[in-house]
Amino acid sequence: MANSDNNRRKFMVTTLQSVGLTTIGGLLWSGYCDEAKSSPLVLRPPGALPEEQFLDTCIKCGLCSEACANRESNKNRDGTQREGTLKMAKGGDHKLIGTPYFIPTEVPCYMCDDIPCVPVCPSEALDMKSLLNKKGELEINKAHMGLAVVHKESCVSFWGLQCDACYRACPLLDEAITLDYQKNERTGKHAFLLPVVHSDVCTGCGLCEKACITEKPAIFVLPREHSMGRDGDHYVKGWDKKDQQRAGDRKLDEIETHDKRSEKSPTDYLNKEIEY
Amino acid sequence: MKNLKYLLLRRATQIGLMFLYFSANAYGWHILEGTFGSSKLFGLIPLADPYTALQALSAGFLLGGDVIAGALIITIFYMVVGGRAFCSWVCPINMVTDLANWLRRKLKLDKEEVNYRFLKRRTRYWIMVLGLIVSAITGIAAFEALSPITIMQRGIIFGFGAGISVVISIFLFDLFGVKNGWCGHICPLGAAYSLIGQKSIIRVKHNHEACTNCMDCKVVCPENQVLHMINKESISVTDGECTNCGRCIDVCNDDALSFSIRDLNKKS
């Protein structure tokens, strides 16, 4: 009797210990995976699904990167061989290991017409459908790998110097980046040529970032979820008939906004300081 | 002079396959492209690792047709023909752990396998299941996020970076830590292939009549629990954990071991 009690006890203890160890392992492993996938500022190949989805869909095979590396067009102007755009994240790159990405200042995306990197994707992490135009052909201009952002304080055009390097480098010349002409009041006789990026056109290829003349580029590509705001559905462009439809048939006096502040009377909050 | 036939054949296969993968990136060859996660043979036939595909599935994502088809092709191949041959004939980590094992024998570091309390040979199956659970929790293929196998393979194809440290760790772990530690106790991919290849037809066969009980085979075998029939019965090695590496056949001086086709009529 005592012996079987002992056996049972031993069995229970071993089971508990195994469960405990498995839990520790599982927690550590989950922790690692969760940290590993949180590398926000990474640019993915054309057609990539939104980052969160991309990370669970990408099977890390490297076929996109191989297709990118082996282009006859991967040549510099002087005829020397150029590296492919896409890299595979390795240990120490601080990106989820084995996923493809690119760094515009090293090799930007040259936006090949036939987009070799996308159709080879076996897991559809690079979504070909998102790059098809109305005729059902691949169209690289539909890619949204990121969005270029201008830091106007370090951009010499905003100083009044005549630089349009990014504007000229852009593959969608005068569409993704346009120049805004403004009078230079300081000299009184010159114009500012200010680069303006249009997010509906910009593919995020990074040629502008590569071309930028400043020590650290004043124009740079960020993933879209980090470089764009979101207006939500609250504000409606009343002057835009199509947008106005979103408001529906509601009369103006039916449209009311309620938040914490509206519980108080206007005199209350106008006379007091309000914490926003 | 010992016979090295299968050892050399295996090394040639492993290095050859790695070279083909490498060339797909370096020279644009369309023979074998991609990595184990998903490959293309001759730019046409999809191949994919079944365990990776399972992780992706449990991470909550419906796989593209190519990956499903590829995983099926690989599964069927090892299930019917190869057994756990991936581990010893394809996987590049095998060269690292074999080297550790060889050094271990040369340096006479504990020749016998130590029986650890919580690191048993069946631990890998738990890790395999745990990998699927962690994939489901974190939403990414959990083992792929740190797999030394594909880290080494991508290292060979695209460059190692800091990834080499993982390979070195495995080497040191197998050399100074646990005998056959990685491949025999931990690797969930090997566990998956053990399960897949259980019923495959290519098997090592033991001839009890010829055996002189020298036990060389058991010393060299990385999974020597599968050789329980040595000098006992003339049967095939049917355990799925046998990697079909053929080292036992190489070292046997009595012709008591050979590759054969599993006897399908007899239940063994």
Q: Give me the interface pTM, i.e. the ipTM.
A: 0.83
Share the mean pLDDT of chain A. Answer: 87
Residues whose CB falls within 8 Å of the CB of residue A231, separated by 6 or more in sequence, listed in order: none
Examine the domain organization and report whether B65 and B185 are in the same domain. yes
Nearest CA in chain B to A20: B118
Beta bridge partners, B34, equal B39
The answer to whether residue A262 scores a pLDDT higher than 50 is yes
Distance separating the N- and C-terminal Cα atoms of chain A: 72
Of the CA atoms within 13 Å of residue A256, those in its CB half-sphere come to 7
What is the total count of domains within chain B?
2
More confident residue, A74 or B190: B190
The pLDDT assigned to A85 comes to 92
With respect to residue B112, please indicate whether it lies within any of the assigned structural domains.
yes
Q: What CA–CA distance (Å, rounded) separates B252 from B242?
A: 17
Cβ-defined contact of B157 to A62 (cutoff 8 Å): yes
Cβ-defined contact of B160 to A90 (cutoff 8 Å): yes
Considering only CB atoms, A93 lies closest to which of B66, B161, B164, namely: B161
Residues of A in contact with B140 (CB under 8 A): 33, 36-37, 55-56, 96
Q: What CA–CA distance (Å, rounded) separates B57 from B35?
A: 18
Strand extents, DSSP E, chain B: 32-35, 38-41, 45-48, 202-206, 257-261
More confident residue, B115 or B155: B155
CB pairs A-B closer than 8 Å: 150
Average pLDDT on A20-24 reads 88
Can you list the pairs that A17-25 forms with residues at least 24 positions away whose Cβ atoms lie under 8 Å? A17/B118, A18/B118, A18/B126, A21/B118, A22/B126, A22/B130, A25/B127, A25/B130
Share the mean pLDDT of chain B. Answer: 88
Domain boundary among B196, B211, B226: B196
Q: Collapse the DSSP code of A43 into the 3-class scheme (helix H, G, I; strand E, B; otherwise coil) and give the result.
A: strand
The answer to whether residue A105 scores a pLDDT higher than 80 is yes
Q: What CA–CA distance (Å, rounded) separates B93 from B82?
A: 18
What range does the domain containing B125 cover?
5-196
Domain spans in chain A, listed from the N-terminal domain onward: 36-143, 146-229
Most confidently modeled range among A145-159, B116-130, B140-154, B227-241:
A145-159
Domain boundary among B139, B170, B196: B196
Average pLDDT on B23-30 reads 87
Examine the domain organization and report whether B76 and B159 are in the same domain. yes
Q: What CA–CA distance (Å, rounded) separates A235 from A118?
A: 37
Cβ–Cβ under 8 Å, residues A150 and A177: no
The answer to whether residue A7 scores a pLDDT higher than 50 is yes
Examine the domain organization and report whether B191 and B208 are in the same domain. no
CA-nearest of A94, A122, A107 to A206 is A107
For chain B, percent of residues with pLDDT exceeding 90: 37
Q: Which two tokens stand for residue A222?
A: 């960020």
More confident residue, B233 or A179: A179
Examine the domain organization and report whether B135 and B157 are in the same domain. yes
Cβ-defined contact of A60 to B59 (cutoff 8 Å): no
Q: Which two tokens stand for residue B55?
A: 């992780």
Cβ–Cβ under 8 Å, residues A45 and A64: yes
Sign of torsion over alpha carbons B49, B91, B140, A21? positive
Q: How many residues does chain A have?
A: 276
- Choices 3.30.70.20, 3.40.50.2300, 3.40.630.10, 1.10.645.10: CATH for A146-229: 3.30.70.20
Examine the domain organization and report whether B58 and B165 are in the same domain. yes
The pLDDT assigned to A81 comes to 82
Beta bridge partners, A81, equal A75
Considering only CB atoms, B134 lies closest to which of A21, A33, A93, namely: A33
Domain boundary among B163, B196, B229: B196
Average pLDDT on B41-65 reads 84
What is the full DSSP assignment across B183-195? IIII-HHHHHHHH
Which range has the worst mean pLDDT, A26-30, A34-38, B180-184? A34-38
With respect to residue B266, please indicate whether it lies within any of the assigned structural domains.
no
Q: Collapse the DSSP code of A135 into the 3-class scheme (helix H, G, I; strand E, B; otherwise coil) and give the result.
A: coil
Examine the domain organization and report whether B189 and B211 are in the same domain. no
